[in-house]
Amino acid sequence: MVDGITVPEALCTRNQWICWKQAERNGETTKIPVDPQTAGFASTTDEGTWCDLETALECVESDSTAVNGLGFAFTKSDPFVGVDLDDCRDPDTGQPTEQAKTIVGRLDSYTEVSPSGTGYHVLVAGELPEGRNRRGHIEIYDHARYFTVTGEHVSGTPTQIESRQRELEEVHSAYVRESDDGGQEGSTSEPGSKARLSDDELLEKARNAANGEKFERLWNGSTVGYTSQSEADMALCCLLAFWTGGHAGQMDRLFRRSKLNRPKWGEEHYADGSTYGEKTIARAIAHTSEFYEPSESEVEAQEAGPSRDREHVYLEKRVSLLRKQTTSLEKEVEEKTARIERLERRLEAYEGRPVAREEESECLREMQSKSLVRRLRGIFGR
């Protein structure tokens, strides 16, 4: 069921909006991100190609042939996590699959129908659990990607984005995370040992290895000896695949710390929605036949060292999330307060008398809401 047109207020106030257009790439249909300000290509890692919702709406309204809809770019600095459920809804009847129904119900946060009508987009406030972020028709991401936004709210779900860290972890564990038997073909689970070194311990090992000089050159951004930076990227990823035991999440995290990292790493480059970085990591794992196995003494030393129990780590994550949410809410309150004060002054000057803050604020919110609904219906009702 679809319950009208709506967009969560938490998204409306952010300057993370883009547009998108449908195109054919490698024989498949894909959605290309568009900069609403220039009509050029938008990057999910370049905030200079994003804008406010008003500008994005104007872009869609002004030329519906150039762009097909709105999009919202995720960043590491915002508290949002997107759960993308594909091929799980009958576009004619609106009936979801049992799995999709379970996931949407468990997350219990703002959910809308995807542009194709065959999937759902769920938005929650939280932190993406470590490990793989895709399995089958389910994908979860929190930065360097974007969600198409239709405003087709699914009835029975909240109209705002809710904080759902525990529920997100449960869904990730049940439907996305690596299985205990080592995963399946094409997965990003680690082929080698389940025991891994910390990032800093791994870097120290790699630098002191027999091929440490090669690792150091690549880590510091040198492409000498390679025909392209992409080839150098692959070389570093193969080394990281060995040292991490083929753990994609740790490989991605480490590569982003290296000087080879560039905006292209997080950009969508393939028809299936994969980023350049994701494909490079997958290829590196596939090309690596041997993986480093930490000795028992190394594992024991790590476990007895600075690592903390899960409860402590969980609490730290919760504190970090709450701080982000508090900062975001404080900024929103400041912006809205300033805007209301400006409108009050304009109204007082126009009518020659003061206006009650509470009555004006309520009227303003109602006008903004109705205007947004009309414009979204005009876009998605074509």
So what's the pLDDT on residue 350?
72
What's the confidence (pLDDT) of residue 289?
78
- Tell me, what's the pLDDT at 185? 35
**At 293, which amino acid appears?**
E
Residue 194 has pLDDT above 50, yes or no: no
Percent of the chain, pLDDT > 70? 79
Q: Tell me the per-residue pLDDT of 72-100, one tens digit each, with 9 for 90 and over.
A: 999 999 999 999 999 999 999 999 999 99
Which stretch, 1-10, 148-157, 342-351, has highest mean pLDDT?
Answer: 148-157
What is the edge-to-edge ordering of all strands in the sheet holding 146-149? 28-34, 17-25, 69-73, 146-149
Question: 81 to each of 84, 90, 131, 168, 319, how far by Cα in Å?
Answer: 10, 25, 15, 9, 17
- Three-class DSSP category at 321: helix
Collapsing DSSP states into helix, strand and coil, what is residue 177? coil
| Predicted model pTM | 0.54
Q: Return the pLDDT at 182.
A: 40
- pLDDT value, residue 359: 57
Instruction: Write down the pLDDT at residue 348.
Output: 75
Distance, CA of 298 to CA of 275 (rounded, Å): 34
| Residue 356 confidence (pLDDT) | 54
Give the pLDDT score at 317: 60
- pLDDT, position 30: 83
Q: CA–CA separation, 237 vs 243, rounded Å? A: 10
pLDDT value, residue 188: 40
Which among 189, 210, 176, 207 is positioned nearest to 82, based on CA atoms? 176
Q: Which amino acid is at 379?
A: I
Span of 290-294, 320-324, 358-362 with lowest mean pLDDT: 358-362
Quote the pLDDT of residue 196. 62
Residue 184 in this model has a pLDDT that exceeds 50: no
Q: What is the band of 211 on the pLDDT scale with cuts at 50, 70, 90? A: very high
Distance in angstroms between the alpha carbons of the first and the last residue of the chain: 19
Report all structural domains of the chain as residue ranges with CATH numbers, in order of start.
9-175 (3.90.920), 199-307 (no CATH), 312-380 (no CATH)
Q: Is it the case that residue 22 has pLDDT exceeding 60?
A: yes
